[in-house]
Amino acid sequence: MKFTIIGCGNAGLIHAAKLYEKGHDVALLKTSITNGRFFDLIKEQGGFKALDDTSQGGGRSFLVKPVIITRDVRKAVQFADVIMVMTTTLQHEFVAELIAPYVNDGQIIALVPGYMGSLIFKKHIKKDVTYSEWETTAYNGRIVNQEYVRISFYNPRNAISVLPVDRTQQVLEVFSNSFDNTRYTRRHILESAFHNPNMIVHPIGILFSASRIEYSNGEFWMYREAFTPSVVNVIKAFDTEKNKVLQAFGCEPLNYFEAAKWRNEEDLNIDAMAVFRSFADSSNKGPSLINHRYLLEDVPMGLGLYISIAKLVETDTSIQEGIMALASALLGKNLKADARTIQYLLGKEDVGTKDVLQAIE
């Protein structure tokens, strides 16, 4: 199949490499100025080197040769059977407006991650398109020294959701044939959004480590340092309310640590906290700044969305609103003012649970 990757940062290039490895035709579309130097190098050389350092990859390196490497939106979008939007969720509105004139009937648009951004794309794209949302990436890694892409971690299980839901099996077939670990589904895009781990651990991890981050001058390892037993209690309290909301929308309750184990560990008999600590031991350093996407993205896009939906089912949002207020104070910004809300996504202020269910199914 033909895949266009929008977003040529770490995640975009890693997934481009795995798709190329599977024999698919890949196009890279650059829409921002970040990582511009590496993109220009890729374009000049006609590809890039990938190192698969996961246990499955065994340290194997290979060259990735995309069919198209471009900033030409029309060319990249019209090339694709599947468009994978791998920018931050902050860019969803921009990307949706950018690609809308060139999208064709029958294409699949995957948002990685989603935070229910499909509803933004639907506002701008008036074609018969199928959407897929992911709660996290299938693989992790990073660009190393503007020289190559290192794939350092994969999730044994990767779940997706589909809009409309009656096309779920069709889309799952596409992605399960493209990524070996992507063989699972969530009920709908709301469930995927609320199982995005970044919505919980990123803001909490920074909030309770703010002084440590600023004092350490870059020597901070969030997953190793931040989540002490008392901070874990905050995550568990968050989970208690989150699961009430999930159940209100027909989903099974699942706490953060069990969800992380399900994604990250082959052996589901291992204790969830042991899996989390193992993941923490292998995680990368950072963040080194408070002014980071862990707050700038995950608070307004993730927590903002969650709070607006939780209020519809009269679930306590005091913890989430407290995190948003304190994160805003840390940054000196009003993150609530720019929050993604269900009212914004549906384009009206008077929203009920039936409106949400109709929109996501």
How is residue 28 annotated by DSSP? E
**What would the mean pLDDT of 217-238 be, rounded to a whole number?**
96
Cβ atoms of 164 and 142 closer than 8 Å: no
CATH number assigned to the domain comprising residue 38: 3.40.50.720
Within this chain, do residues 217 and 279 fall inside the same structural domain, yes or no? yes
What is the percent of the chain where pLDDT is above 90?
93
Within this chain, do residues 32 and 180 fall inside the same structural domain, yes or no? yes
Within this chain, do residues 157 and 209 fall inside the same structural domain, yes or no? no
Within this chain, do residues 339 and 309 fall inside the same structural domain, yes or no? yes
- pTM of the full structure: 0.95
Strands (DSSP E) along 37-81, which ranges?
48-52, 60-64, 68-70
Within this chain, do residues 12 and 59 fall inside the same structural domain, yes or no? yes
Within this chain, do residues 234 and 328 fall inside the same structural domain, yes or no? yes
Residue after which a domain boundary falls, among 134, 164, 193: 193
Within this chain, do residues 239 and 169 fall inside the same structural domain, yes or no? no
Is beta strand 148-154 parallel, antiparallel or unpaired with respect to 139-144?
antiparallel
Q: Give the number of other Cβ atoms within 10 Å of residue 346's Cβ.
A: 17
Domain that includes residue 6, residue range: 2-193
Residue after which a domain boundary falls, among 141, 174, 193: 193
CATH number assigned to the domain comprising residue 265: 1.10.1040.10
Residue after which a domain boundary falls, among 173, 193, 213: 193
| Dihedral sign of CA atoms 223, 283, 206, 237 in order | negative
Question: Pick the residue with more confidence: 285 or 242?
Answer: 242
- Residue 16: CB partners within 8 Å, gap ≥ 6? 3, 5, 26, 28, 64, 66
CA distances from residue 313 to 162, 238, 255, 304 in whole angstroms, order as listed: 23, 16, 19, 15
> What's the confidence (pLDDT) of residue 173?
97
Within this chain, do residues 162 and 277 fall inside the same structural domain, yes or no? no
**What would the mean pLDDT of 26-51 be, rounded to a whole number?**
91
Q: Is the pLDDT of residue 33 over 80?
A: no
- Residue 62: CB partners within 8 Å, gap ≥ 6? 17, 21, 49, 50, 52
Q: Is the pLDDT of residue 34 over 80?
A: no
Within this chain, do residues 187 and 278 fall inside the same structural domain, yes or no? no
Is beta strand 108-111 parallel, antiparallel or unpaired with respect to 130-134?
parallel
255-314 pLDDT, tens digit per residue, is 999 999 999 999 999 999 999 999 888 888 899 999 999 999 999 999 999 999 999 999
Average pLDDT, the chain: 95
Total domains, the chain: 2
Within this chain, do residues 165 and 240 fall inside the same structural domain, yes or no? no
